[in-house]
Amino acid sequence: MTVLPEPTPTATAAGQATNPLTDAVIQAAVDNAIHQARQADASPKAVIGNTPPVPQPGRPPMSQGATDASVLMIAGAGSVSMVSLSAGVLMYLSQYADPVVCGIVFGAPTLLVLALARLAKRAKGVLPEEHHHHYDGATFYQDQREQHSKTTAVWAKNTNQQ
């Protein structure tokens, strides 16, 4: 069998420029467009230093306590609406459900949550305070002690040893 020579391409491949100078011109045009877009951008730049923070889109800036409270309110509203909707559907489907009984059944979880929240609020004062230590200077002494606890039986009895 006869081996034929490889054909040499007479035209450029699709998507390639015939002149390397054209590639440089296109790249320069793209760089110029990017440079112009950056100059026209009016958005605030992130600067490290004494610049005040810029409000971001979404929720407005709030303290941590306000953020926690708003999330709790949203969660509470969602759970109350789900309980109320399920109670309404149950009364509608049964056609003879007693509203007082439904109120007791569906209100019990709400009372339980309120009681647990009040208990957690009272227990907050029992927790130890948070301590921050700032050391300055060449030497300092830090006392570290370990405390071993052992809990036994169904009713807990703690034995602490140092």
> For the chain, what is the mean pLDDT?
76
What is the tens place of the pLDDT at every residue in 8-44?
Answer: 666 666 666 566 667 788 888 888 888 887 777 666 6
Residues making up the chain, counted from first to last: 162
Q: Rounded CA gap, 102 and 84, in Å?
A: 10
In degrees and rounded to multiples of 5, residue 8 shows phi and psi of -95, 135
pLDDT given for residue 67 in this prediction: 83
Q: Which helix (H) or strand (E) holds 159?
A: strand 157-161
pLDDT beneath 50, residues of the chain: none
